Structure 1
């Protein structure tokens, strides 16, 4: 800022306290930032102009007056310090706070009114002390007065209300008559808003309600009553539903017109909005009219009955759905419609049950009941019936169709017929119906009876004894399907199935099939079934494959890749083991399985050693290590025998000995292997020499051991020359002895039956069986004269030089793998004898521990102790007790009806 003189400094305007807070315009000159003079009365501009001569003279006078005022300090401002005469005074620069200090806001007057109409622009003061002009924005009023700008309405409110209501009433009349509203809805809405703002909302609503009531009561109701009286039924229901739909559309337009009334007045009242009020008016005026209500409800129930009987037309179902929706909208569903529907449904259910139960058998009855329940529940969903209605209909169905008809649903003969005829769908429906009331266990008795009866027929069917296991597996698959699909995997039904299956599997009946013993047949047949699987695989049981393909659905199988043979065998072994678990008498299974395993190992007919060991593992897990101890020892003996023959062959090779006959000997322990009878036979000299050489080697290596040769288990490979070429024949030991006799017979000559018997020294049974396999079976190496299927003592046998076969190596030793009747009888009798010995041992152990025991308690203890080896009848247990009494192991005490142990 440049320096100024003292006179200039004295002429600078000083800011007052009131003006120090006023914002200073940045574009104004320093001389224009004037302080506000004290308040004075302001004349108008016209007065100022008229009191002065000209505008220019007024401006000059105003400037001179302003200069005088600027030289005189105001009482509010502090005088600046004056310097000496003729000295220059430098003014201190003003701070930012001084420059931007503004005046306080204008305050209202005592009455709290700020007048905004009064202009307080800073103007230059005229000659009389009032500023005339000034810069806009530099000054302003000290107070603002806000005045009400509204003008007094010129239209009378009552007149306005009446005029607008007449317009709205005319619009409502047009709406109710089905015509178009001529006045714009926007104008009607604005009229409603103005009326509500005038505080007359209650009166407007009262008139609107009265208008609607008159329309419903005087126009709509008489029309519906007339239809109900003249036509009734479905036409009346249709008219009622149409009236409600039309009323809903009219209410929508009414709500648009009176939306402001609805939002500002009605929703704050107890009666609710326009839609709710309109619904209440329709319900009270129309539905609860006695004639209309009864007709509408009866027509709706009639539609439901038509649908139940299947007589409903295409137009009736939409009407029924619309009627139910109408009842929901009016709020009369639970109070008026539902009780009528439930009562009619109860009568319908009782009539239907009486008609159907008397004319239909149980399968058709359960089908009809299930279909009826399904239709009822589907109707509840399709027609939007309430959840309470669905629940009441369901409970009513259970009470009438199930609870009151429980004897019919659980009729034993009818259930058995369905089980025998494979009516799985009906069984499932019957189970579902009974389970709704907790009576599903009533099916367990006929289910158990069917299982035990059908299973016993399979077990004791001697004609199809060979297919017993295949049929049992198919029967078990059927029962499992029933348990899973029909009975929903119910635990009680599963226990029933297990007990019934276990009962018939362990039934015993003395017959020729078990040689008049008490052995259960399934144990033997399961062992033979497993033997067939392990010898020839799944293909050895074509019936099993056919039944499984039919059960699994052959059309749905994937023929792209065949299942692995080992995997298939494992599956069938697992199925056979499932049957084995039901067998109590494991001794029968053990005896036959052990005998068949020995044949497979000795004849080299095992299909897969992995499958053999897998079966042993399953049996060990199922029955324990003691059960499979001997079976595992058999495999060990075969491994030791194989090592023994390798050592013997190596010894002969080291000595340079080349035997005329190569033999392979299996040295077996007597304890682990089955017992075989000693059958006498004249062994050829070359074979006898090879046997003696091996026996000498074995006794030198193992002292104190005795070898017993079993030629009945031997098999040989012979080279034979026929007219069409040489063949290699795989035959049994007895077949080889017979065939070697023909080396000493001239061509064309034969041997009689007696000559063969004398040369071989074989029993008649073995000779006949051997000759029949060589001359009457598939491979006729010998020719029998005369021809026939049976071998007689008068027959003659010659060497068949014309024998031919496509294969070079021909197996004829099949007879060794077939069990004879004598062997089967011997096995059954031995098992029965062993069981009696085990029973006697169990009795002795019990008596030794208890010293004294009653008869019934002893029977129970013996049955528990021998259950794993097979359950004996009480009569057999009594026989064993008598034997022990005879042997002085125990004595009878009559006074306590029991027994005491004799040490």
Structure 2
């Protein structure tokens, strides 16, 4: 294409030089010549006039040095605009421009050099606007028309094709108008703003595109295959047009909320909780990771994750925990519990699970201690197995979270020290059974010490253990080595003072054995070889207190007691013996028609049976037996019941009944057939004697009151004056047993009445 009097291949010449020129040597003005050459020639001529260069230090200063660009040819602007307009129309019509692109670029460059940026920008803006107006009329018609198959993916494909083509057209226009894009305004932004403007006012088109996208996402959530690339392109178009946050995202989040609310309502009733939790984890991953990578904006991650977690999990936490937690814990579903914990931790709901965990451990632990179908000896091992299972779950599933670690320890302490659980009694029975059956090994000792360490009512356990230890030592049951092993472990945990009396009981048995051997070897006393004597010297204050039982001993028995008492007083002149006949045990040889039978009895049972050695005395009445033995009526009833109404009926009672009455008659049972070679008739009777004469609860109460009084006085004596709160805190630190605030207040009032302490005018307490 040719243009008149204009060569497009060369740049226009610079205007002739028309100003004065500075002399480099003299710095004086030189008048211009008549026929001035161009600036470049003038400069060359001036340099040629110098035959020799001179070096000097003078400086040349030039102010407002400017070169004026030449003006445009008369028709240049009109022709250039016409060519550019035709090229833009061709591009928007998907046709190649008729003019060379380099020429079009030069047109734009030259026009911009003469400040024609705004004119070119407005030209492109007007042409694009008209083109878009026609295009959107067609798009709106397709949006309203539902009978030509332009629905769903087809419609989105059409929209994406139009948008992609338009973007390519704008890029081509930008290449031609690059000078305008760089020096005035962005052509890309202009094209996007024009498209966004028509998109904004075209509600049917906008709503149909968004609804089509939501329908495809809904189908994908239901397991159907969707064109994720088409979704990505469409959503990115909305992002480029800045309609993602304002139009698409609110509707998308609302549809997501409704979808997962309905799904949660349905699945939580249909699915097992293990499967439901896995479904929640899968959905969260799909929405927060997979879908974002495929086509959603990353800024939507927090919102969509919160909606999915909220509707499927957070709003249903209580129902999920109620349905699943106990089942998971009972069946040790560690993986399900781990998934539950991670989901709860992700939404900051571990506190709700922690409260359910604590309630579960307390309930289960109390059920075990209250002996639901277990024998007494199995209760503590079962509870320990439960505790170890819980600890394993806390470490594996709950990742040793401090909330659950501390909660489990508090639960163990609560369960073991709950009064109605009687843990002290169960623990005493457990260790008593192990020692009696000689089954006390390191493993069983560890079980025992686990609960002993957590037990707060150690004073109650001490009295119970002392009773059982007394019975074992008196009846020579168990092993002294096992007794010492148990006491050594208790000493390490509770201190020397706690086991000092118990250790003294064992030392008494050892000293008694040595003393009896010395007595038997003493020739000053006449020993009856028909009787084997074994006596135990029990130090008063260390053993359970048992008042002496009044009874009339046979002459032979009385003589032996007198001889031993004289021997003991001679060895220990400052001591006095009190005979505990109620705790005495006898081993006799009974002769029956079927053969001899060894029977171990209490002394009271033995005295009664010895009355029936002479058949001429039978039958004996209740009164005759009472007169011969010296027993009171209550004690005689209990003893005769063990001989005539128990499992082994050594005596015959007339009339037969389950109880002993003062009118009953008793005789020798010649037809008695023992079930073993050695019968133990003393166990229950001796146990009853010790237990009935040691009121544990009353003793514990008195000891606690005395310890509490001493602690209060000791604290106030050291501090001189304390407030009620401070005193209560110090008392709680010092005592070793559980107590309540009303109990402390009651002892304070008692001490005030006894004038050990006084209350000041300010309400504090002071030692007097």
TM interval, shorter chain, is 0.5 to 0.7
Matched, 1:603 2:475: yes
Q: What is the CA deviation profile of residues 200-232 of structure 1, one whole-angstrom value per residue up to 9, with x for unaligned ones?
A: xxxxxxxxxxxxxxxxxxxxxxxxxxxxx9899
Matched, 1:897 2:728: no
C-alpha spacing 1:370/1:875, structure 2 compared with 1 (3 Å): closer
Work out the number of aligned pairs and report it.
562
CA distance in 1, matches of 2:279, 2:344: 15
Q: What is the CA deviation profile of residues 111-144 of structure 1, one whole-angstrom value per residue up to 9, with x for unaligned ones?
A: xxxxxxxxxxxxxxxxxxxxxxxxxxxxxxxxxx
C-alpha spacing 1:669/1:889, structure 2 compared with 1 (3 Å): same
Matched, 1:649 2:520: yes
C-alpha spacing 1:298/1:619, structure 2 compared with 1 (3 Å): same
Q: Among 619, 630, 648, which residue is 1:750 paired with?
A: 619
Tell me the secondary structure at the aligned position of residue 790 of structure 1.
coil
Is contact 2:588–2:600 with CA below 8 Å preserved after alignment?
yes
Is contact 1:459–1:465 with CA below 8 Å preserved after alignment?
no
Q: Among 437, 461, 483, which residue is 2:347 paired with?
A: 437
Matched, 1:592 2:464: yes
| Number of the residue aligned with 1:253 | none
Q: Among 392, 395, 410, which residue is 1:499 paired with?
A: 410
C-alpha spacing 1:382/1:901, structure 2 compared with 1 (3 Å): closer
| Number of the residue aligned with 1:624 | 495
The CA deviation at 1:729 is: 0.6
Alignment of 1:649-798 (within 5 A): 649-651=520-522, 657-746=527-616, 749-798=618-667
Tell me the secondary structure at the aligned position of residue 891 of structure 1.
strand
| Number of the residue aligned with 2:130 | none
| Number of the residue aligned with 2:262 | 355
| Number of the residue aligned with 2:704 | 835
Q: What is the CA deviation profile of residues 60-118 of structure 1, one whole-angstrom value per residue up to 9, with x for unaligned ones?
A: xxxxxxxxxxxxxxxxxxxxxxxxxxxxxxxxxxxxxxxxxxxxxxxxxxxxxxxxxxx
The CA deviation at 1:354 is: 0.8
The CA deviation at 1:599 is: 1.0
The CA deviation at 1:481 is: 5.6
CA distance in 2, matches of 1:590, 1:363: 55
CA distance in 2, matches of 1:576, 1:344: 64
C-alpha spacing 1:236/1:473, structure 2 compared with 1 (3 Å): same
Q: What is the CA deviation profile of residues 438-490 of structure 1, one whole-angstrom value per residue up to 9, with x for unaligned ones?
A: 32122222333444456567778999996875775566456446534553432
The CA deviation at 1:760 is: 1.8
Is contact 1:534–1:612 with CA below 8 Å preserved after alignment?
yes
The CA deviation at 1:603 is: 1.0
| Number of the residue aligned with 1:490 | 401
> Unpaired runs of 5+ in structure 2?
1-147, 157-207
C-alpha spacing 1:794/1:484, structure 2 compared with 1 (3 Å): farther
Matched, 1:812 2:681: yes
Is contact 1:711–1:733 with CA below 8 Å preserved after alignment?
yes
C-alpha spacing 1:827/1:231, structure 2 compared with 1 (3 Å): same
CA distance in 2, matches of 1:802, 1:889: 69
Tell me the secondary structure at the aligned position of residue 581 of structure 1.
helix
Alignment of 1:130-209 (within 5 A): none
Q: What is the CA deviation profile of residues 246-273 of structure 1, one whole-angstrom value per residue up to 9, with x for unaligned ones?
A: xxxxxxxxxxxxxxxxxxxxxxxxxxxx
Is contact 2:551–2:629 with CA below 8 Å preserved after alignment?
yes
Is contact 2:264–2:311 with CA below 8 Å preserved after alignment?
no
| Number of the residue aligned with 1:193 | none
CA RMSD of aligned residues (A): 4.7
The CA deviation at 1:830 is: 1.0
Q: What is the CA deviation profile of residues 587-645 of structure 1, one whole-angstrom value per residue up to 9, with x for unaligned ones?
A: 11111111111111111121x44433332122112111111111222222222222223
CA distance in 2, matches of 1:392, 1:762: 95
Q: Among 504, 519, 522, which residue is 1:633 paired with?
A: 504
Matched, 1:527 2:393: no
CA distance in 2, matches of 1:792, 1:887: 50
Report the structure number with the largest CA radius of gyration: 1
| Number of the residue aligned with 2:450 | 578
C-alpha spacing 1:658/1:783, structure 2 compared with 1 (3 Å): closer
C-alpha spacing 1:526/1:657, structure 2 compared with 1 (3 Å): closer
C-alpha spacing 1:810/1:332, structure 2 compared with 1 (3 Å): same
Is contact 1:362–1:408 with CA below 8 Å preserved after alignment?
no
Is contact 2:394–2:400 with CA below 8 Å preserved after alignment?
yes
C-alpha spacing 1:899/1:235, structure 2 compared with 1 (3 Å): closer
Tell me the secondary structure at the aligned position of residue 818 of structure 1.
helix
The CA deviation at 1:837 is: 0.9
Q: Among 733, 745, 765, which residue is 1:878 paired with?
A: 745
Is contact 1:451–1:497 with CA below 8 Å preserved after alignment?
yes
| Number of the residue aligned with 2:485 | 614
Is contact 2:602–2:686 with CA below 8 Å preserved after alignment?
no
The CA deviation at 1:535 is: 1.9
CA distance in 2, matches of 1:231, 1:388: 22
Tell me the secondary structure at the aligned position of residue 652 of structure 2.
strand
C-alpha spacing 1:305/1:864, structure 2 compared with 1 (3 Å): same
The CA deviation at 1:346 is: 6.0
Is contact 2:467–2:691 with CA below 8 Å preserved after alignment?
no
| Number of the residue aligned with 1:860 | 729
More displaced 10-residue stretch of structure 1: 720-729 or 384-393: 384-393
Tell me the secondary structure at the aligned position of residue 450 of structure 2.
helix
Tell me the secondary structure at the aligned position of residue 672 of structure 2.
coil
Is contact 2:512–2:536 with CA below 8 Å preserved after alignment?
yes
The CA deviation at 1:299 is: 11
Q: What is the CA deviation profile of residues 751-807 of structure 1, one whole-angstrom value per residue up to 9, with x for unaligned ones?
A: 222222222222333323322222222222122223233333332222211122342
C-alpha spacing 1:461/1:423, structure 2 compared with 1 (3 Å): closer
Is contact 1:661–1:687 with CA below 8 Å preserved after alignment?
no
The CA deviation at 1:389 is: 9.0
CA distance in 1, matches of 2:560, 2:430: 37
The CA deviation at 1:810 is: 1.7
| Number of the residue aligned with 2:671 | 802
Q: What is the CA deviation profile of residues 502-529 of structure 1, one whole-angstrom value per residue up to 9, with x for unaligned ones?
A: 23543457xxxxxxxxxx8322332223
The CA deviation at 1:409 is: 4.3
The CA deviation at 1:410 is: 4.2
Is contact 2:361–2:408 with CA below 8 Å preserved after alignment?
yes
C-alpha spacing 1:418/1:659, structure 2 compared with 1 (3 Å): same
| Number of the residue aligned with 1:557 | none
Is contact 2:565–2:577 with CA below 8 Å preserved after alignment?
yes
More displaced 10-residue stretch of structure 1: 804-813 or 654-663: 654-663
CA distance in 2, matches of 1:417, 1:765: 58
Tell me the secondary structure at the aligned position of residue 765 of structure 2.
strand
CA distance in 1, matches of 2:407, 2:686: 40
